[in-house]
Amino acid sequence: MATNNDSARRGLPPAHGLYDPANEKESCGVGFVADMKGRPSHSIVVEADHALRMMDHRGGCGCETNTGDGCGILTALPHTFFTEIVRAEFDATLPAAGRYAAGNVFLPMDAAEREHCKTAINQIIAAQGQRLIGWRVLPVEPTKADVGPAALTAMPFIEQLFVAAAEGIDNEAFERQLYIIRKLATRTLRYESNHEQADWFYICTLSSQVIVYKGMLTPSQLMPFYPDLADARFESHLAMIHSRFSTNTFPSWDRAQPNRFMSHNGEINTRQGNINWMHAREGVVQSKLFGTELDKLFPIVEADCSDSGNFDNVLEFMLMNGRTLQESIMLMIPEAWQNDDEMSAEKRAFYEYNSTIMEPWDGPASIAFTDGRYIGAVLDRNGLRPSRYYITHDDKVIMASEVGVLPVDPANVKAKGRLRPGKMFLLDFEQGRLIRDEELKSAFAESRPFGDWLQQQKIEFAHLHTDQEPHGFEPSTLLARM
């Protein structure tokens, strides 16, 4: 929970009466545009920007109509564009796609504080055995975008970081190192630093697959503010968008979405309990992939995040520890499986087994998610947030909080529909197809003998009153098991 001092440093009022700066929830517009076959183009970015503008009413603004609650766009790394940028800016050759990472970083406006942050990050990159390519001052046009006074006052200095993979490391191991670098930098500079402006530090993304351009902007300001997005060389096969309505919270540049792997329309009502569980697990969690470096990832859930940001923190942790994106989402937002008599035994066992690993992140939620290889969406078990989608004959998929965000010729519509409560759909760019909810979940449910594991390992309360309880009441292990 944020302290009053933390809140004041970030421009938020202190906790007072019913207001607590830790209660960061929101209700927003969310969606994506993607090419099902994974073909990058600038038109995907342009169409996503159009869709974002059409959801302007789902975002919020203050008494200044040109200061927004926040919006943003997540795309795949535009490799051709970045290749030319790195050649021009650093006189260097960019490694092959997947062998480098890029990310936009919010830094202090004060030059000395900014240099302190960049030096610390450079040292962490070197300590983790990766290679710094360089820092690019990201072009921004606040005047052209007509950014309002409140957003300008809170605006950070924005630079773009490029990091190359070490020799002999595979792409997945590189992603894990990038995760460690970001977590260490955040912990060191944002939460442990005594520097006055350290709270301005925030890494939007640092990935070899995706990048986020976001800010305390309105939808119509995003592309004018970031000239990169309007450059015809900026191509992507996917573009996730988000327009934020802060509801009962205060906007900030870092709380704008998309987050690093997802965007969210709605609220996570179980947020504090979910956070407490994750903090508790830090004492016993183990990882074959991170080994002795695991403690570098703590805290898993970062302070000063919205409910969406907390969800994203946990999703990223599960993804980096070997679970697929879609399986992680299934664990965090399960269907209402307990009383569904029509659900298969395999799927029910899957949900019951995994309920012992991860408690549900409950609340009205429509969530879009991607890691670059997949993009998809899921609706909460009650279905209290809308999610509409179109699939066209030219293999384009459009998903948004509502219909009409993009003009589509009816003759080009192959299929359309809406997500049902607890259901998910997923685009697999490698397979070039849409995977429906039943196929997706059945594959995971049947991949392991969850039913057998439950039968062999589950302990019922009734067993505790008999001699049948297999673990007994040994004093040496009782407290730990309790």
Just list the catalytic residues. Answer: 28
Q: Residue 358 in contact with residue 331, Cβ under 8 Å?
A: yes
Contacts of 55 (CB under 8 A, 6+ apart): 29, 31, 219, 241, 243, 400, 401, 402, 405
Helix ranges restricted to H, 226-306: 227-230, 271-281
- Residue 198: DSSP 8-state: G
One-letter amino acid at 432 equals G
Q: If residue 457 lies in a helix (H) or strand (E), which one and from where to where?
A: helix 450-457
Q: Return the C-alpha torsion angle 395, 82, 289, 271, nearest 10.
A: -70
**Distance between CA atoms of residues 396 and 427, nearest Å:** 11
Extended strands (E) in 141-251: 157-164, 202-203, 210-215, 238-243
CA–CA distance from 354 to each of 208, 333, 338, 461 (Å)?
30, 11, 13, 19
For 401-422, give one letter per residue: b (16+ CB within 10 A) or e. Answer: beeebbeeeeeeeeeeeebeeb
Question: Which neighbouring-strand residues pair with 29?
Answer: 243
- Residue 481: DSSP 8-state: H
Question: Which neighbouring-strand residues pair with 377?
Answer: 368, 425
**Distance between CA atoms of residues 30 and 456, nearest Å:** 43
Residue whose C-alpha is closest to residue 392's, from 379, 407, 377: 407
Q: Residue 453 in contact with residue 353, Cβ under 8 Å?
A: yes
Can you say whether the dihedral through the CA atoms of 247, 2, 110, 136 is positive or negative? negative
Phi-psi region of 266 (alpha: psi -120 to 50; beta: other; left: phi over 0): left
Furthest-apart CA atoms within the chain: distance in Å: 75
DSSP string, 459-474: --GGGGGSTT-TTTT-
Q: Return the C-alpha torsion angle 316, 333, 47, 159, nearest 10.
A: -20
Phi (first) and psi of residue 231, to 5 degrees? -70, 130
Residue 313 sits at the vertex; the CA angle it makes with 269 and 254, to the nearest 5 degrees, is 90
Number of H helices, E strands in the chain: 15, 16
Q: If residue 50 lies in a helix (H) or strand (E), which one and from where to where?
A: helix 42-54
